[in-house]
Structure 1
């Protein structure tokens, strides 16, 4: 009986901890999405130039390293907002480019709606079904690495077909990441809400930009 009660108590603590991480993650995610949107709006309204692939990569990985290093302290929050704000700034020029296309406003709105629909649907599925998607971790890591390298190749060698293929890959991979990260929180595999927020934010960001590219290409064909 003692063992049974200990297991039940431990399980209850585990569920309570997972729920706390989940609440903190979604609260911080909402704030960082809003902050990033503000930065993107400022960048777009001021017509700021895109910093370029090299500065973007250095800024992203530098801020990601900072956030990871201080993930267990208040400085980690500074890193999260620095990272998401920087990504918002880089998004402004991208949005301006698509807004300049025929039906550009519709493309941006469709990409936003598609991103929101995918995120909420997959998050709800992971939360309600409580399926453990931890088995996807290795596959997603390899897939993202391959897609990232292919994306760099598409940028440097200016291969449009490869760029579109990478965007399609990222839509699938980021959808998988949303399922995986939400599952990790629910099942106690991720206990740091700062890192969970970063993972979900990056997934949403890449999902949105990938949908933008795919929708922009379809619009140009019309």
Structure 2
């Protein structure tokens, strides 16, 4: 009887590991494609001089994110995730153009390199150690509201942008660890939702590093 129970447990463990690897593979493939698509959208916005009003950005970003969550269990979820990431790429175009126009191309390159380094480094930690980072869930929830409050306060108090950007670097890093750990330990079985979470973390990480490096630049 004990052998049978152990055998069933091992079987379930192997099935879970197989599912986790499948979700992880699909997530990284989709994430890679959406990052490339977002980069093309950013290049298009830079080439055409496209600008985006903050209200349009908020409505489009949160609207498409909500739509992707609603469609995540259907084939339309893939269409929605590309629409969302493409839209986010369009929003990056004017920001990158402003830095390039100010002669700060090295800042953009450094921010991109650091973003890639942080993402791959933290992903490797979660994948190799297989440590359960689910405890970061509460931190992310609290951090979201703290950062949201800080963003609102920054409209009335000068000098908060540096602190908020540093906070977003920590928040995005924690999100990468949390989401990757969720996939490894079976907490996330939808690769579309996993892709969205990781994409948003990378997006926020890049923008925050860009802001911090830009503030520290002599230019």
Cα drift, residue 177 of structure 1: 0.5
Q: 1:193 aligns with which of 187, 191, 194?
A: 191
Partner of 1:214: 212
Q: How many residues align?
A: 217
Alignment of 1:102-117 (within 5 A): 102=103, 104-117=104-117
Tell me if 1:39 matches 2:37: no
RMSD: 1.1
Does structure 1 residue 124 correspond to structure 2 residue 124? yes
Q: Answer yes or no: is the 8 Å Cα contact 1:33–1:84 preserved in 2.
A: yes
The aligned residue for residue 17 of structure 2 is 15
The whole-number CA distance in structure 1 between the counterparts of 2:153 and 2:61 is 18
- Tell me if 1:181 matches 2:192: no
The CA distance in 2 between the partners of 1:181 and 1:10, in whole Å, is: 22
Deviation at 1:40, TM superposition (A): 0.2
Identify which range, 137-146 or 30-39, moves more after superposition.
137-146
Deviation of the 1:163 alpha carbon: 1.3
Structure 1 gap ranges (5+) = none
Deviation at 1:82, TM superposition (A): 0.7
Q: Normalising by structure 1, report the TM-score.
A: 0.95
Q: Post-superposition, which runs of at least 4 consecutive aligned residues in structure 1 deviate over 6 A?
A: none
CA distance in 2 between partners of 1:78 and 1:11 (Å): 33
Is contact 1:40-1:90 (8 Å) kept?
Answer: yes
How far did residue 160 of structure 1 move? 4.5
Residues of 1 paired with 2:54 and 2:150: CA distance? 14
Partner of 1:161: helix, strand, or coil? coil
Structure 1 residues 77-116: aligned runs within 5 Å: 77-102=78-103, 104-116=104-116
- Tell me how far apart the structure 2 counterparts of residues 41 and 200 of structure 1 sit (CA, whole Å): 21
CA contact 1:144–1:170 (8 Å) conserved in 2: no
Query: Residues 186 and 212 from structure 1, CA distance in 2 versus in 1: closer, same or farther, beyond 3 angstroms?
Result: same
Once the two structures are TM-superposed, the CA of residue 152 in structure 1 deviates from its matched residue by 3.6
- String of CA shifts for 1:114-138, please: whole Å, max 9, x gaps: 0000000000011000010000101
Offset, 1:216: 0.6
